[in-house]
A and B are shown apart, each in its own frame.
Chain A
Amino acid sequence: MCPPPLALEPPIARQSTPPTLELSVDDLVDNSLFLNKEFLQLLQEDFYYNHIYKSPSYYFNQSKFFKNLNEWKKQILFSSDVQKITTNQNFEALVNMGVNAIPFILQEINDSPSNLVWVLNKITKSKISERPISIDQACTLWIKWGRKHNLI
């Protein structure tokens, strides 16, 4: 039997699915900092805050960040392959920027949650939560973390 033709009607609500993630972001905040201890220690020294914002290379870093970000998004456009997405050379260039990229990442995911959050996972060698949370919940938690450390 042939499949029926596509219905040309306004998009309909998605089929309801049972939620995987039962916890709200607020439930997770207290348990959220499964972060690399060495990285946290460095941040506590305020070194990176001063280093990032007062560095003469701030605008250079900003330009480099957006160039790599735009290329990365273009090259991984419709991929679901997390390996492919996170081994792309532009993704790796973002990771190699290290802490200099963090304020730009936080601003971006604050404006629009996305898998750019995976660069934070690589730079900090940490996940924001060991629980299976969604990308937008992870972005919210990373932004809270960034505010706590004056990075956004």
Chain B
Amino acid sequence: MSLDNPQDRKIIEAILPNLKSSWRISSPREPKYNCIAWAGLKDNIWWWPSAGFDGVEWPFGLPYNLQLNTFIKLFENLNYERCDNSNFEVGHQKVAIYINDHTKECTHAARQNLKGVWTSKLGEHWDIEHPDPFAVEGPDYGVVAVIMKRKHT
């Protein structure tokens, strides 16, 4: 079965209804990392403010909570700063942080690569590429709350 196959696309589109035609599955299923770590360019660990579980860490001595400010600090530690749009800027990398619209707790992060394409890790499953950060908004990941950027070094 090919990586970007109709069966898996159907599963993903059922959960992320705002994905339109211009997206693709870009990795096999991989349990080693989650969306936050993937946005921080890590592919061998889960980043989440939870203690006591193998394979999970919460870096930089950040507080163990799901507040937006905590996740902003996470990316500030990676040299990102807040910006006002998700447009592609040559030489820059951007991340989007998502929150649940009701609880205001963080749910997800996505990263724009150096070609301007956005990438998300879906739980313990696949990486996907999508044209903008809003394409994965919905019941599961909520809405984009903050965009941050850093210069590519």
Contact = CB atoms under 8 A, between A and B. Distances in A.
B126 to A, nearest CB: 9
A50 interface: no
Interface in A77-121: 77-83, 86, 113-115, 117-118, 120-121
B125 interface: yes
Contacts of A138: 54-55
Contacts of B25: 11
A5 B43 CA distance: 25
Interface string B110-148: 001101111001111100011110000000110000000
Interface string B25-37: 1110001111110
A3 B117 contact: yes
Q: Identify whether the interface residues of B are mostly helix, strand, loop, or mixed.
A: loop
A15 B117 contact: no
B87 interface: yes
A128 B88 contact: no
Interface string A27-66: 0000000000000000000000000000000000000000
B55 to A, nearest CB: 4
A152 interface: no
Interface of A: 1-8, 11, 14-15, 17, 19-21, 76-83, 86, 113-115, 117-118, 120-121, 127-129, 132-138, 142
Interface of B: 3-4, 11-12, 15-16, 22-27, 31-36, 41-46, 48, 50, 52-57, 66, 87-89, 107-108, 112-113, 115-118, 121-125, 129-132, 140-141
